[in-house]
Amino acid sequence: MENLLRALELCVFPKHCLLCGANENYICHACEGGIRYVLTYSCVICKGPCFDGFIHTNCTSAQTPNRFLAAFEYKGVIKEALISAKYKKKIFDLYGLLVDLACEYFESIGLEIGADAIIVPIPSGKRKYKKRTFNHALIIANLFAKKYGVKVVPALIKLKDTPSQSLLNRKERKRNVKGVFAAVPRFAQEIKGKDIVVIDDIVTTGATMLSACKELRKLGKNAPRYVYGISLAYDSLNRK
Ligand SMILES: [Zn+2]
Ligand SMILES: [Zn+2]
């Protein structure tokens, strides 16, 4: 019966695998098998190996996040999927699928997001937003929030448009995001004492994420409590 319903659903609302075209889902079963998860993490501050994304105690300060996680390696199936999701229309459902898989994986390595946590998306610049008419990090943030039953708080704004990080080397990336984000003071109270999950789609050197977390950390005493930097994919190949 379940199979019949599923077949019927596919007839009425056909979904094609974005990668191989199979009439099954945005990522079909076979392609899903090609997804590579991030299995070893390095500390986003010192770049040395670390356990499950926990930033070394010695490397944390009042301005750093505490844990930094990405679910997938940015290659193959995932790379194609994320490029599609960013530049083609009407496939936001794909993000839903990826968030489901990512959360399953994060839970398997002990990520627990409490009911009083809040989700903060990395904001996009005005120019990029105009061009794409949506902020992919916000879409992912909304999906995360729904999954964990928590709130999205747009506590960060982007002060200026910057060249795409993917065009720059590590040093330039750091410079590129310096002073780019600001935390919105009116959210200070809402953030106080909370766990914050900062969300982006792809992380490479972590410069964007670190810069964003730093601004949230600066929002007054005791705020926030614990900061997670979370992205769907980790682009280790583009690290220069
Ligand atoms: Zn496929
Ligand atoms: Zn470290």
pLDDT tens-place string over residues 93-143: 788 889 999 999 999 999 999 888 999 999 987 666 566 667 889 999 999
Measured in Å, residue 38 CA sits from the centre of ligand 1 at 21
Mark out the alpha helices in 54-160 (DSSP H runs).
76-87, 92-108, 126-132, 136-148
pTM value? 0.86
Measured in Å, residue 235 CA sits from the centre of ligand 1 at 22
Measured in Å, residue 45 CA sits from the centre of ligand 2 at 5
Q: Does residue 26 sit in the same domain as residue 39? A: no
- Comparing 182 with 89, which gets the higher pLDDT? 182
Q: CATH number, domain at 170?
A: 3.40.50
CA dihedral 71, 164, 158, 176 (to 10 degrees): 100
Percentage helix, strand, coil, to 5, in the chain? 40, 20, 40
Structure tokens at 117: 């946590």
CB atoms within 10 A of CB 233: 24
Evaluate whether 197 touches 153 at the Cβ level (below 8 Å). Answer: no
Decide if 125 is inside a domain: yes
Domain count within the chain: 2
Q: Does residue 99 sit in the same domain as residue 10? A: no
Q: Does residue 5 sit in the same domain as residue 84? A: no
Measured in Å, residue 30 CA sits from the centre of ligand 1 at 6
- Comparing 240 with 56, which gets the higher pLDDT? 56
Where in the sequence is the domain holding 99, given as residue range(s)?
35-234
Decide if 140 is inside a domain: yes
Name the least confident of 17-26, 44-53, 57-66, 124-133: 124-133
Decide if 202 is inside a domain: yes
Decide if 146 is inside a domain: yes
Q: Does residue 7 sit in the same domain as residue 41? A: no
Structure tokens at 209: 């994420």
Measured in Å, residue 203 CA sits from the centre of ligand 1 at 25
Measured in Å, residue 26 CA sits from the centre of ligand 1 at 8
